A and B are shown apart, each in its own frame.
Chain A
Amino acid sequence: MHDDDTSMQELVRDDSSRKRFLKMMGGTGAAAFSIFVAACGEDEKPKKSGASSSSAAGAGRKRDLEIVQYALTLEHVETDFYDAVIRSGVIKDKALAATAAMIRDNEQEHVDALTAAVKNLGGKPQKPQTSFDSVIKGGAKKVLETAAAVENLGAAAYLGQAARIQSKEILAAALSIHTVEGRHAAALNKAAGKSILPDGAFAKPASMNEVLPQVKPFLKETS
């Protein structure tokens, strides 16, 4: 097991975060997750030189699928959020409303790309059910602060996965989305009267375990 697998290992050990994760990912994700765990365990055993590259590559591919589905979930949350905000008309400032619309379109493109990537990896793309009523009821200031928080979280989430991605193509795609999330975060931080660089000269990553609980308030419980 490589040391960068820590957050997934935490998910395996921590029953509550695992349940949270599985709930978000839905049935197919759960199945893929189980396969991943099995593959992961297998990966820990000493390997014979002949078979090792294919089994490790298989485990890596499974993990890439989990990461891409995770990113897709976050992008759905973002897209749904901006859709809800735009629909509500809560932002009266014209320039800010235009920024929200532009960012919304970016997030939709990320959703489309990641949906295709999940399919390419043999997965079934999952879409979470979301609700932002409580944020929108809080008014324009609350909406702006939440938008900034969500973008900072999104940027940190991509950064947290970069070193765990096996496929060069998926890594390149994730990086090209990551920096756009960083741009969004800077602009929204500025609009919210916060520093464009909350972490200073070096952006901090966030693991799945750090990110998912912060997204949870926006997810509708599905039974």
Chain B
Amino acid sequence: MIIETREVYKSFKSVHAVKGISLTIAEGQFVALLGPNGAGKTTLMEMIEGIQKPDKGEILIAGKQWKGNEDELHHIIGLSLQETYFVDKLTVEETLRLFASFYGEKKDRVSEVIQLVRLDEKKKSYVINLSGGQRQRLALGIALLNHPKILLLDEPTTGLDPNARREIWQILLELKKNSKTSLLLTTHYMEEAEQLCDYVIIMDKGNILKEGSVTQLLNNENSSKTIEFTLEDTCDFIALNEKTPEIYWDNKIQKGVVHLNEIENDMKTFLGILEKNNLHLKNLECRRKSLDDLFTSLTGRHLNE
């Protein structure tokens, strides 16, 4: 196990930020800590990064505790903090060269990283003139300088537009393909967790609510498919003759939802009901169940709330 935490607790004054979290991350695994703001993700992350000390519990990185092994662990970890400003009037290249010197890496590694995070055109630009996405890619580049065994990214795409976000995902997916780096990232975008990670840990209020691979999490809950539909005709209600499948019609927005347990049979029944009522489908959309649905079913709240 490359990262292991056992029953880790951390409180700040009256706030219990992390309440006994245990997790393990294997080499090469990409893991997401998913949860809304204030779930304790960053605190947990900072304890793993060695920035905070847990009140109780144990954290092992590559089998070692932080205490007494700081220098060694700093060499194998690459990280980006939730928000870091770099020096405004240094160029991208100079910033990377500065951090490279901390790891004993040379110029050629700096150029490699610039390629890797696609900042070639911007390498002579001052940090202050970078866009949000470029700045995050610089932060990611710094995290990658030392060929880290462990990459810890705290909300790497928060506040970025979809394009900038996708660019970061692509860099990370390439990394997944080409190296044995393990990744732990925090996010409140379920899409990010789905895209990048093999394993998702859903956190809320300092606890782990549920964990597993994305497919496990989405299929275990129940196997029903959700279909949203609209009709050509205006309709007050749909008379139901049978209990399956479950159909819900919302009068106000003129939109319905069907939950199908067994696609073939239930679909037939559903179409039969419409025919009986002389209703015609305008649109039919099969929506995959999402991690957000899962979070909502567990807590009654949305991830982005």
Do the two chains belong together in a single complex? no
- B→A interface (CB under 8 Å): none
